[in-house]
Amino acid sequence: RHLLLVTFLPTLNAIFSFDYQHLYIDIPDIVNMAPLVDFEKQSLLVSVCSIAFNPLFWNIVARQEYHNKLLTNLFGGNSRRACYALAATIFSLGLIRDWLYKSAIQEQPSHPLLQTPISRLVAFALLASGNVLVLSSTWALGITGTFLGDYFGILMDRIVTGFPFNVCGAPMYWGSTMSFLGTALLLGKPAGILITAWVYFVYCLALRYEDPFTAAIYAKRDRERAASGGAVKKQT
């Protein structure tokens, strides 16, 4: 076995009484490590598909609601009840997605560099920060504000600019991404990091469609308010 020894460790041993005989890098073990990602596992593909499906689903359904009142009509004209139903559906799909993700990476190879104390600390920090972003954004927006209420005509009076929206523009998405990465590091799975990159890409793509559409909804509301205010002034 070829061992790569650090030449100055004997000096450190003399000064600090280190036992350097156990500190080495085993080159053959590193070279012969199993592949970092097992692409033959069907669970990996299922997880990737579920991550892509969720934003695709809620964007299609929400736009159908906005243009055709799809869900509102299904709930007898009650838009708020329809929004709550969509919120429950999205939340449930998120739980299924998270379960599929964790199940998938548990079947994947681990990497020793992702199983160190530092890696675990980073993992816990990401999980904590990610959950803070998700939960605080939900608290700030409420159920209808979080789950596409604006597509149902349930608009907020003003833009939320406090925490966590003063930290990032889409805290729900970026908090979720951080949680994916934190789980990958906590379990020591390189495949989890790869899937996290996919999550990031999917969310970036979703935001390119969602942000302009949402901005257009509120711009229309503001124009209608301005027109209504102008009409009132003319009458007076």
69: left (phi over 0), alpha (psi -120 to 50) or beta: left
Structure tokens belonging to residue 208: 């390119």
Angle at 215 between CA 53 and CA 89, to 5 degrees: 30
Q: Alpha-carbon distance 8 to 125, whole Å?
A: 34
Question: Which residue intervals of 110-189 are DSSP H helices?
Answer: 117-146, 171-187
Going residue by residue through the chain, which has 236 residues, state the pLDDT in tens, using 9 for 90 and above. 333 333 333 333 433 343 434 434 444 444 444 579 999 999 999 999 999 999 999 999 999 999 999 999 999 999 999 999 999 999 999 999 999 999 999 999 999 999 999 999 999 999 999 999 999 999 999 999 999 999 999 999 888 889 999 999 899 999 999 999 999 999 999 999 999 999 999 999 999 999 999 999 999 998 988 887 655 555 55
